[in-house]
């Protein structure tokens, strides 16, 4: 995205550098289960400002007094968790790198969630990158004026709050089997909290416990990584074990599970911004657009993009009975503008926001990027392709 820096990086790149980088990255826990891309994305100031402007417009909506009322129906009745807090501790915003009608690059929002992502792994990735590659000193993966140390302090305050690490857990479904488990181990390295499976929770009265080094230990705060849509796909005995999460338990959440639904595809129809594609609830559309080829059909409740219809037809819409649970979104065209050593790649940039305790607004902190040469972003669209996978953006300061 910054032509001179891209040319410099590509010219100095060697496969030997990448292999050394990959081996070093994987050595940390020998658990890297996704492909790290060969390059970061260099993000200029004007592009960064457009993304932040869109994020802030969404936050403005979240801060409105009636936001919870407007999003009450977003939470499935059988997945509502008690003791919801006033705001989510974290937010993530995904932007596609696109080309507009004036032939200029611009970000377009793809999705947003009040849910964690690779908050800790990106620190390891940044450290490892600079051991093997170079980048200009006025570019950083950390946003605002943050550095590694100040970012980790924010992350620690966010997840631990004022609790001892042994009383805080990272909660997942079989964490060792998750493709993103390297982030769990990095979180443990940086913060001292353990990844715990939902099947390992012990309830006594209103309190939860887990075994920590063979000792039954009280849980005061949960760093929640459980996606309930994924939970519903588990065997019955796993879902039975997880029912404790829906009871009246004496724990703090980061973030509270209800926010996963409140800030999601469900929120998009509430927001108008030039970098946010037009989105409408399917049941609120009076006339179906004649140019359906320019739209994508998405279920509000799905796991890992399942159910998304890219090439929409009238027949696809007609067979949907629960239209209140679907959105029709203006399609964005990813631009293949990241020059590589063969064909160019598309990019999707995820911005991290943290909401410090008692702060009026959340703040941008870090990012990740996914590169793709397939029809969509994702591993299954990039088999046997190089210069694809997970990476990060270096933002001009």
Least confident residue range of 59-63, 177-181, 382-386: 382-386
**Banded pLDDT at 303 (limits 50, 70, 90):** low
**Banded pLDDT at 183 (limits 50, 70, 90):** very high
Element (H, E) at 19: helix 15-27
The answer to whether the bond into 255 is cis (omega within 30° of 0) is yes
For residue 315, give the 3-state DSSP assignment: helix
Do residues 220 and 228 make contact, with C-beta atoms less than 8 angstroms apart? Answer: no
DSSP per-residue string spanning 213-272: TTEEEEE-EEEE---HHHHTTS-HHHHHHHGGGGS----EEES-THHHHHSSGGGGGG--
* C-alpha span between 292 and 302 (Å, rounded): 22
- Start and end residues for every CATH 3.40.50 domain found in the chain: 161-254
pLDDT given at position 353: 98
Q: Name the one residue in this structure whose structure tokens are 């990584």.
A: 225
Quick one: which of 267, 180, 190, 185 has its CA closest to 226?
A: 180
Mean pLDDT, residues 153-163 taken together: 97
* C-alpha span between 324 and 181 (Å, rounded): 34
| Kind of pairing between the strands at 389-391 and 202-204 | unpaired
Least confident residue range of 72-76, 128-132, 258-262: 72-76
In this predicted model, what pLDDT tens digit does every residue of 241-279 receive, in sequence order?
999 999 999 999 999 999 999 998 889 998 999 999 999
What is the Cβ-side half-sphere exposure of residue 160, based on CA atoms within 13 angstroms?
19
Mean pLDDT, residues 178-199 taken together: 96
DSSP state of 280: E
Residue 305 has pLDDT above 70, yes or no: no
pLDDT given at position 372: 94
What is the Cβ-side half-sphere exposure of residue 174, based on CA atoms within 13 angstroms?
10
Global confidence as pTM: 0.93
Calculate what percentage of the chain has a pLDDT beyond 70. 97
**Banded pLDDT at 304 (limits 50, 70, 90):** low
Residue range 161-254, CATH number? 3.40.50
DSSP state of 37: P
Average pLDDT, the chain: 93
């Amino acid at each position: 995205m910054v032509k001179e820096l891209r040319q410099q990086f590509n010219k100095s790149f060697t496969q030997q550098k990448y292999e050394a980088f990959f081996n070093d990255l994987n050595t940390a826990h020998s658990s890297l289960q996704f492909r790290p891309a060969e390059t970061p994305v260099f993000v200029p100031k004007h592009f960064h400002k457009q993304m932040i402007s869109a994020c802030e417009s969404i936050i403005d909506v979240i801060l409105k007094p009636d936001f919870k009322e407007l999003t009450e129906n977003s939470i499935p009745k059988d997945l509502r968790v008690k003791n919801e807090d006033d705001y989510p501790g974290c937010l993530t915003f995904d932007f596609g790198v696109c080309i507009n009608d004036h032939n200029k690059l611009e970000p377009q929002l793809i999705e947003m969630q009040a849910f964690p992502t690779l908050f800790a792994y990106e620190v390891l990735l940044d450290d490892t990158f600079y051991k093997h590659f170079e980048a200009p000193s006025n570019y950083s993966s950390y946003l605002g004026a943050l550095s590694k140390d100040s970012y980790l302090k924010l992350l620690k305050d966010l997840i631990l709050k004022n609790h001892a690490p042994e009383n805080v857990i990272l909660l997942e479904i079989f964490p060792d089997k998750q493709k993103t488990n390297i982030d769990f181990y990095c979180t443990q390295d940086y913060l001292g909290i353990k990844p715990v499976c939902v099947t390992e929770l012990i309830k006594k009265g209103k309190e939860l416990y887990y075994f920590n080094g063979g000792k039954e230990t009280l849980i005061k705060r949960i760093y929640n990584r459980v996606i309930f849509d994924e939970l519903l796909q588990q065997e019955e005995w796993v879902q039975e074990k997880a029912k404790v999460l829906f009871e009246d338990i004496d724990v703090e959440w980061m973030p509270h599970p209800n926010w996963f639904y409140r800030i999601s595809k469900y929120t998009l129809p509430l927001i108008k911004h030039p970098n946010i594609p037009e989105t409408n609830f399917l049941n609120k559309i009076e006339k179906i657009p004649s140019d359906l080829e320019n739209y994508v059909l998405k279920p509000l409740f799905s796991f890992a993009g399942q159910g998304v219809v890219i090439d929409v037809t009238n027949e696809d819409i007609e067979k949907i009975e629960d239209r209140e649970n679907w959105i029709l979104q203006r399609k964005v065209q990813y631009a293949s503008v990241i020059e590589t050593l063969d064909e160019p790649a598309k990019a999707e940039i995820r911005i991290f926001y943290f909401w410090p305790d008692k702060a009026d607004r959340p703040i941008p902190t870090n990012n990740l990027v996914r590169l793709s040469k397939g029809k969509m972003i994702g591993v299954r669209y990039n088999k046997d392709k190089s210069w694809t996978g997970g990476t990060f953006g270096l933002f001009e300061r």
